[in-house]
Amino acid sequence: MNIIVCIKQVPETTEVRINPETNTLIREGVKSIINPFDMYALEEGLRLKEKFGGKVTVITMGPPQAEQALREAISMGTDEAILISDRAFAGSDTWATGYILSSAIKKLGIYDLILCGKQASDGDTAQVGPGISAHLDIPQVTYVKKIEEVKDNSLRVERMMEEGFEVIQTPLPAVLTVVKEINEPRLPSLRGMMRAKQAKIMVWGQKELNLDPQRIGLCGSPTQVIKIFTPAQRTAGQILRGEISEMVTELVGLLKDEVY
């Protein structure tokens, strides 16, 4: 089974600071880690490889220092790692990122399964995984909490819902985004860390991927961040009591007064 795991390097702190002028994340001075949700994707990829054989390739798009995240992935046991990095990619939104990552996956050629974390802990969009599947025109299953069965050309998975779960059968290749319930990620091994230190990390940019300059970076990104703010805290609700007719009258009154 050829598995590609897409990871993202994110700031470790949960208190992400935002530059109010550019509305982008301030990354300076914050330790970087692999997005915690992507660790579950990595672990699942490694487990599938251990069970069914094959290869796990990890890719990430980011600045040159994202190479560190790839080395960490190698120390856990992934076979190959590719850094997708180019100044021209700066400012890419989830749509452009999906385009760039899917182009890298196409360049890799053979793949049965693409695994992503359900979302990144910094941007929280949960759009890149589905975006990759759209660009590759292959099926996607989001919020996977268990891979039940693996067959030659299909997978049966459990997809987490707010109440209960769905069982979905999908042909391969497919994109899965996984939730933390799926496994417990392993720690690196000493041998893995030694291998990671010496591993050669390939870097692919716009040229290597032969990308349309109109579809990458800021100009390839339809999303415009207008404003970022902390939502006001929800205040306690109000429970109406009494006869139904009284409550309805009261509710209508409240809605008229308070909302409009």
Partner 1 sequence: MDYLLTDEQKMVRELAHKIAEEKIRPVASQYDQTEEYPWGIIKIIADAGLFGLFIPEEYGGMGMNVFSLCLATEELSQACGGIAVCYAASALGTFPIVLFGNEEQKKKYLPDLASGKKIAAFGVTEPEAGSDASGIKTTAKKQGDYYILNGLKHFITNGGDAHIYVVIVMTDKTKGARGASAFIVEKDTPGFTFGKKEDKLGIRASSTRELIFTDCKIPKENLLSKEGTGFIVTMKTFDISRPGVAAQALGIAQGALDLAVKYAKERQQFGKSISSFQGIQWMLADMATEVEAARALVYSCAKEIDAGARDVAKDSAMAKMYASDVAMKVTTDAIQIFGGYGYMKDYPIEKYMRDAKITQIYEGTNQIQRNIIALKLIKEMAK
Interface residues toward partner 1, by CB under 8 A:
186-191, 193-194, 197
Nearest distance, CB of residue 83 and partner 1, angstroms: 21
> DSSP of 18-44, one letter per residue?
EETTTTEE--TTS-EEE-HHHHHHHHH
Nearest distance, CB of residue 46 and partner 1, angstroms: 12
Amino acid at 218: L
Which H/E stretch holds residue 107? helix 94-108
Q: Which of 33, 108 has the CB closer to partner 1?
A: 33
Q: Which of 185, 205 has the CB closer to partner 1?
A: 185
Nearest distance, CB of residue 190 and partner 1, angstroms: 4
Helices (H) and strands (E) in the chain, counts: 7, 13
| 121 to 7, 165, 223, 225, 228: CA distances (angstroms) | 12, 23, 19, 18, 16
CA 64 to mean position of chain CA atoms: 19
Nearest distance, CB of residue 16 and partner 1, angstroms: 22
Distance from C-alpha of 30 to C-alpha of 36, rounded to nearest angstrom: 16
Q: Which of 43, 158 has the CB closer to partner 1?
A: 43
Nearest distance, CB of residue 120 and partner 1, angstroms: 21
Q: Which of 187, 244 has the CB closer to partner 1?
A: 187
Nearest distance, CB of residue 152 and partner 1, angstroms: 30
Distance from C-alpha of 223 to C-alpha of 244, rounded to nearest angstrom: 46
Q: Which of 18, 193 has the CB closer to partner 1?
A: 193
Q: Where are the beta strands (DSSP E) in the chain?
A: 2-7, 9-11, 18-19, 24-25, 32-34, 55-61, 80-84, 113-117, 140-150, 154-160, 165-171, 174-178, 202-204
Q: Which of 46, 182 has the CB closer to partner 1?
A: 46
